[in-house]
A and B are shown apart, each in its own frame.
Chain A
Amino acid sequence: MKMPPAGNPSLWSFITGSGLVAQRFFSDARDRLTLAELADGSSLEDDIDSFQDRSVLILTERQLCAALALAQLDGVARRLVLCPPDITPAQLPNIIARAGVDIVLADGPLGDKAGAVAELRLSRCGAKIRPADRPLIRATATEWLLFTSGTTGHPRLVVHTLDSLAGPVADGVAVAKDAIWSTFYDIRRYGGLQILLRACLGGGSMLFSDPAEPVGAFLRRAGDGGVTHISGTPSHWRRALMSPAARAMAPGYVRLSGEIADQAILNNLRQTYPAAKIAHAFASTEAGVAFDVRDGLAGFPAAMIDDAGQAVEMKVQDGSLRIRSSRIAQRYETLDAKALADADGFVDTGDLVERRGDRYYFIGRREGCINVGGQKVHPEEVEAVINTHPAVQFSRVQARPSPITGAIVVANVVIRPASLAAGTSFETVRQEILSTCQQTLAPHKVPAMLREVAALDLTAAGKLLRQGA
């Protein structure tokens, strides 16, 4: 057994530093490999030393390949930029410039992204292990760059380290060494990455989901693979519980995060998985995991607010939850240099809470940012697309609460008087707007409902009136 190096251990030391590497595994719908195989070889096409101090954009299609890249390059590369699968070719140049990317790591053909990375060194990281020498030293404090959605359609880059990301793992959730973790999330998002880290740091295994896989097939694969611990958003879980295969797996631990967990989903999970511990967690990419709630009730105990001396301190100011802890990200990697935390080190999560009795409940987001199944939508970004239609004078995009995905995106549109006078049919305009939105926006951002209205309310400052949604 290899011992983890002293100080600032890399992810690799957690993966290879356990006596159980022969039993531990990573698997997806196509491949399964043990960590013992990984410990003795490499899935990288190039020599690992050629990644020393580089900024590496992980642009793999498969989550398994992204996880292998993280495991092998943490402590070696200067930066690892974890690119979620829905990043578009048009967003890449900005990301590459901000993150100073000099190597692109892929697991197959880059398709429509090839042009955007043509100038950079391209290297491969597949799921097959070949024999290889290991570097002796993994001493680099690698920065991990994650994405959050930005208002202008350009994602923001959030800078973490393994330490800030792994902070929440020591939260007292007792986990057996032979735990098999899985998540409905993509591991290139904060919520999914947390689960990969729990599997790696806690001595367990990891079974990856696949966006192309129907939910029933994934649930059966998770059951066959013996998954013991599994996480997802409330929307993921609603979808799972509506599948006839929900009982194909029997996890001992069920986790919800990324959205408001209402009492209906908590009750339904309890009924479907009576033996499981069920926890709902609050986390954001910027602030990290703040807490989890394990009593099966929606909301969280009011006693958690202003409770000094905890690893994570929370307060409520101007109605929104603020968090201070060592788990918050270092900074945003942006040119506009918006401060991530206030002068006291608290991050404003933008999530509005309301106290009822001895519990706080989440009631929505500040600034009308919409949470659709755990994915954030900024109304301004969608409005900008709608407003490109020549017949549109104004539009306002807002959330409509949904018991299925938390919220859906709806749009109210004011048609120009000239277009009305010319007899333009709203049905035609609706089809044209939707088709433009479908071509330029991710599916969860496309308005699910589009209505014509005669006017929109403006604030005193002349801005569109938005309510918390």
Chain B
Amino acid sequence: MPSDLATHSRTIRDVIMEQIVVIAARQSKPLASLSDDLPLMESGLDSLCLAVLVASLDDELGLDPFSADGDVEFPVTIGDFIELYENAASR
């Protein structure tokens, strides 16, 4: 059902955005203003922050789209990153 899907997508997006802010604050990294077009690597998060984000999302959402089956395409923007999780959830 489209409405359920939309709710679910928004939830994933909310969790990701919230975790990005929490992790950046914990690691004392200043964040750029977040938007879908912003490249992840220019958001203020470094590799270590991103690793923590992926682990936290695994705990929060039960999803790890990166788990190495060799098929994952690395996301470049925040939008790509969110889409990766949304697609993993709908699988």
The answer to whether A403 has its CB under 8 Å from any CB of chain B is: yes
A243 → chain B, closest Cβ, in Å?
Answer: 5
CB < 8 Å: which of B41, B48, B66 contacts A243? Answer: B41
Residues of chain B in range 35-81 having any CB-CB distance to chain A below 8 Å: 39-42, 46-48, 50-52, 54-56, 64, 66-77
The answer to whether B26 has its CB under 8 Å from any CB of chain A is: yes
Query: A405 vs B51: C-alpha distance in the bound complex, in angstroms?
Result: 6
The answer to whether A93 has its CB under 8 Å from any CB of chain B is: no
The answer to whether A268 has its CB under 8 Å from any CB of chain B is: yes
Number of interface residues of B (CB under 8 A): 29
Residues of chain A in range 97-113 having any CB-CB distance to chain B below 8 Å: none
CB < 8 Å: which of B48, B68, B75 contacts A448? Answer: B48
The answer to whether A264 touches B66, judged by C-beta atoms less than 8 angstroms apart, is: yes
The answer to whether A241 touches B74, judged by C-beta atoms less than 8 angstroms apart, is: yes
The answer to whether A449 touches B55, judged by C-beta atoms less than 8 angstroms apart, is: yes
Chain A residues closer than 8 Å to B71, beta-carbon distance: 264, 267
Chain A residues closer than 8 Å to B27, beta-carbon distance: 443
Also in contact, A243 and B51, with CB within 8 A (given A216-B39, A263-B69): no
The answer to whether B42 touches A263, judged by C-beta atoms less than 8 angstroms apart, is: no
Chain A residues closer than 8 Å to B66, beta-carbon distance: 264, 403-404
Also in contact, A214 and B52, with CB within 8 A (given A264-B71, A403-B67): no
The answer to whether A408 has its CB under 8 Å from any CB of chain B is: yes
The answer to whether A402 touches B70, judged by C-beta atoms less than 8 angstroms apart, is: no
A246 → chain B, closest Cβ, in Å?
Answer: 8
What 1/0 flags go to A216-258 for Cβ under 8 Å of B?
Answer: 1000000000000000000100110111101000000000000
Query: A405 vs B72: C-alpha distance in the bound complex, in angstroms?
Result: 15
The answer to whether A373 touches B69, judged by C-beta atoms less than 8 angstroms apart, is: no
B52 → chain A, closest Cβ, in Å?
Answer: 4
Chain B residues closer than 8 Å to A400, beta-carbon distance: 55
Query: A268 vs B84: C-alpha distance in the bound complex, in angstroms?
Result: 15
Query: A208 vs B27: C-alpha distance in the bound complex, in angstroms?
Result: 27
B34 → chain A, closest Cβ, in Å?
Answer: 16
CB < 8 Å: which of A216, A266, A438 contacts B41? Answer: A216
The chain B residues found within 8 Å of chain A, CB to CB, are 26-28, 39-42, 46-48, 50-52, 54-56, 64, 66-77
- 12 sampled A-B residue pairs with Cβ under 8 A: A216-B42, A242-B39, A263-B70, A266-B70, A403-B66, A404-B50, A408-B48, A408-B55, A438-B28, A443-B27, A448-B52, A449-B52
Contacts A242-B50, A372-B48, A403-B66 aside, 11 further interface pairs with beta carbons under 8 A come to A216-B39, A235-B47, A263-B68, A264-B66, A264-B70, A267-B70, A268-B72, A268-B73, A404-B66, A408-B48, A444-B48
The chain A residues found within 8 Å of chain B, CB to CB, are 214-216, 235, 238-239, 241-244, 246, 262-264, 266-268, 271, 372-373, 400, 402-405, 408, 434, 438, 443-444, 448-449
